[in-house]
Amino acid sequence: MALLEVKDLKVRVEEREILHGLTLTVNEGEVHAIMGPNGSGKSTLSHVIAGKPGYEVTDGQILFRGEDLLEMDPDERAAKGVFLAFQYPVEIPGVATMTFLRTALNAQRKARGESEYSTPDFLKKVREVSKSLNIPQDMLKRGVNVGFSGGEKKRNEVLQMALFEPSLCILDEMDSGLDIDALRIAADGVNALRSPGRAMVVITHYQRLLNYIVPDFVHVMSRGRVVKSGAKDLALELEASGYTQFEDA
Amino acid sequence: MPAVQETVERVKRIDVDQYRYGFETLIDSEKAPKGLSEEIVKFISQKKNEPDWMLQWRLEAYRRWLTMTEPTWARVEYPKIDFQDIYYYAAPKPKKAITSLDEIDPEILKTYEKLGIPLREVAMLEGVEPKVGEEDPARRKIAVDAVFDSVSVATTFKAELKKAGVIFMPISEAIREHPELVQKYLGSVVPTSDNFYATLNSAVFSDGSFVYVPPGVRCPMELSTYFRINERNTGQFERTLIIADKGSYVSYLEGCTAPQRDENQLHAAVVELVALDDAEIKYSTVQNWYPGNSEGKGGIYNFVTKRGDCRGNHSKISWTQVETGSAITWKYPSCILRGDNSRGEFYSIAISNGFQQVDSGTKMIHLGKNTSSRIISKGIAAGKSQNTYRGLVTAHRKATGARNFTACDSLLIGDKCGAHTVPYIEAKNSSATFEHEATTSKISEDVLFYCVQRGLSQEEAVGLVVNGFVKDVLQQLPMEFAVEAQKLISISLEGSVG
């Protein structure tokens, strides 16, 4: 059974159709890149999979391990193992990052009927992961993303990914606003999480990110559809020829 | 359904109908006849065995009150109150005179137990010696004065406080036992003529707490009063007077609850604080009066006058309040910064939900030189509630070097509530530095979605964001109560009651 099956998905936002019948299949262990120009519906796809309010699914299906994802609340999806790394992670003033991580992790574990982490186990785990991501401990005491640099915000997303151990990671424009060093640290963190039991969907406008996170498959989106799919070389082709060839597709 | 919409729906269904303190205690009580007259004022004074000067003081206030009209400037609406339809005195009928905690009506003790106020347990702690290497239990001890309807039923730790020279007792007792202190300070911060409700209180107040901390003494424990309205149609008019003599320190907390009732109940308290040279008073309130049901029926009208006088040089008064209850709140804990280099602080969390109306804030009146004040107000409006911050910062002509910093933040949940900020600033000398910051924000869809994407439920997400929003103020509460207040905040905004 595929991990994620998106079948002929049609989505509207305020009466305007954004996705016009999108189909995508992702198996465990695979890394898929979704590329496309601005406004092609890449972010809409990621939001609909994660269950963001404000989108109306008019047709099609999203199955996660064969279960209907669209029937689930966003927090249920998270507990099932769907993780979205945000393009613009929000700031939550007054809520220490550490508190947030722990509350979220325990909420997910509780939803799955697992026991909550003990404080020492949790701290140990956070320390390990944050060290590998070059995240200083005092950053974890600050409010969630408050005063974080672009790079810190993205690393905080990867930190959560590592802590929550989701089976599907969707990375929405992870490279936006990052310089090359920050990008490398974040990408290394993501690569460390690649495993046979976990799939990733990497959404990006530029090929650059895919030098660091090398995908197994590349899909090109245009005007709410996947217009071309191929192996990793497709990204390089696109970099050379641009998206204009697909604009009229 | 969009996340915020869902939250709004949930908020609508909950809170008020699930008020967890809404039980009634069945005890015999003794009431004065309904209505207000000179006879009633005399009745109350007599019940309390008061000296004549106290009766005269009350009568003067009563006569003054007859000439006054209710204030209407606050942004709150309610049907006219019939002041003749209220009981002004109700007391649990004592089976005999009480000399120790053991003789308190077990029904009343049960009530306080349900409220989480361990009168007995706290008292028992008293005899426990700290074991070697263990934290001194005194650090965690809290002396409690419990006021039931109109009467103070128990004060704990009296003996231990007496050792430190601290006087903590029902004000009715203080009037008899320490008349010189009461006469000197009562009405010296909030005069009997101050305002309609304060004047009413002066005439009919039945009990409350009295605290005197002698010079140089740091009060060895938190002092706390719990107010409980139980009787139907009964007004509660408590009077609190706290005096911190030179170089002393005291931290005081009050908590309030009431049963669920269809009719509205009136609560008009007066709190007076006096801080002499180098003294500090920290006054914290966790107010959770019954807010009325989901249709806006019932609930407490909370018309309270609270004022602190930084009478001495280098004195400090700090108000911290967490306001989650009451149908209507009309309350402005204020500081008169009379002494040079004195400091006033006001930290407030005001949460309104359902049909609650809150008009609250503070006044910082700078009179002395180099006085400073700080105001941090966090208003959270949900449901169909209206939440107003009203504040006055003023510097007298002679108050050179006065400084104030004000930050008022409002958070809206849903689109049927309102948040309003009404700041008044007056500087009568050119050396005053007043800063005012204000923000109003809606709890954002994006923030909620971020949280639920990480596995938090909608309710947990709202609770987390709100607790983050009010964190600066929560930190000002004594540790023991910060946790309780945090829970209370979640309860007032979510369905997670019980």
> Does residue A134 register a pLDDT over 90?
no
Pair of tokens at residue B304: 């309270």
**Contact yes or no for B464 and A92 at CB 8 A:** yes
pLDDT surpassing 90 at residue B11: no
Give the residue ranges of DSSP H helices in A112-232.
119-132, 137-141, 150-164, 180-192, 208-212
Higher pLDDT, B415 or B213: B213
In this model, does residue A57 exceed pLDDT 50?
Answer: yes
Q: Do B445 and A104 touch (CB under 8 A)?
A: no
Question: Is residue B475 pLDDT above 90, yes or no?
Answer: no
* pLDDT at position B262: 57
CA closest to B465 among chain A residues: A92
Q: How confident is the model at residue B498 (pLDDT cuts 50, 70, 90)?
A: very low
pLDDT of residue A158: 92
ipTM: 0.95
Per-chain mean pLDDT for chain B? 80
- DSSP-assigned beta bridge partners for residue B274: B243, B309
Alpha-carbon dihedral of residues B147, B153, B158, B159, nearest 10 degrees? Answer: -170
Average pLDDT over residues B291-299: 76
Is pLDDT larger for residue B386 or for residue B91?
B386
Q: Does B471 touch chain A (CB under 8 A)?
A: yes
Average pLDDT over residues A179-186: 87
Distance between CA B215 and CA B422 in Å, rounded? 39
CB contact under 8 A, B460 and A78: no
For residue B16, pLDDT beyond 50: no
In the predicted model, what is the mean pLDDT of residues B222-244?
77
Per the model's pLDDT, the better-predicted residue between B226 and A77 turns out to be A77
Element (H or E) spanning B438, and its range? strand B433-442
In this structure, the dihedral spanned by the alpha carbons of residues B424, B308, B272 and B121, taken in order and rounded to 10 degrees, is 120
CA distance A219 to chain B (A): 25
**Higher local confidence (pLDDT), B103 or B351:** B351
Handedness of CA A2, A58, A229, A87 (dihedral sign): negative
Q: How far is CA A27 from CA A65, B158, B219, in A?
A: 9, 71, 67
Predicted confidence (pLDDT) at residue A168 exceeds the cutoff of 80: yes
Inter-chain touch B453–A78, beta carbons under 8 Å: yes
Q: What is the DSSP string of B363-424?
A: EEEE-STT-EEEEEEEEEE-TT-EEEEEEEEEE-TT-TT-EEEEEEEEEE-SSS-EEEEEEE
Partners of residue A160 in chain B, C-beta under 8 Å: 454
| Mutation site, B8, B347, B453, B486, interface A, largest A CB count within 10 A | B453
Inter-chain CB proximity B457 and A107 less than 8 Å: yes
pLDDT at B497 over 50: no
A74–B449 C-beta distance less than 8 A: yes
Sequential DSSP letters for A71-101: GS-HHHHHHHTEEEE-SSPPPEEEEEHHHHH
Residue B496 touches partner A, C-beta closer than 8 Å = no
| pLDDT of B18 over the 60 cut | no
pLDDT of residue B122: 39
Please give the average per-residue pLDDT across B77-89, as a whole number: 83
A187-196, B127-136, B370-379: which range is least confident on average? B127-136
Residues in chain A closer than 8 A to B455 (CB atoms): 75, 78-79, 104-105, 107-108, 111, 164
d(CA B9, CA B66): 45
List alpha helices for B14-146, DSSP H.
38-47, 52-66, 106-114, 119-125
Q: In the predicted model, is pLDDT for residue B99 greater than 70?
A: no
Question: CA B431 from chain center: how many Å?
Answer: 34
Interface contact flag, A78 B455, Cβ < 8 Å: yes
Task: State the average pLDDT for chain A.
Answer: 91
Residues whose CB is less than 8 angstroms from the CB of residue B118 and which lie 6 or more positions away in sequence, other chains included:
B112
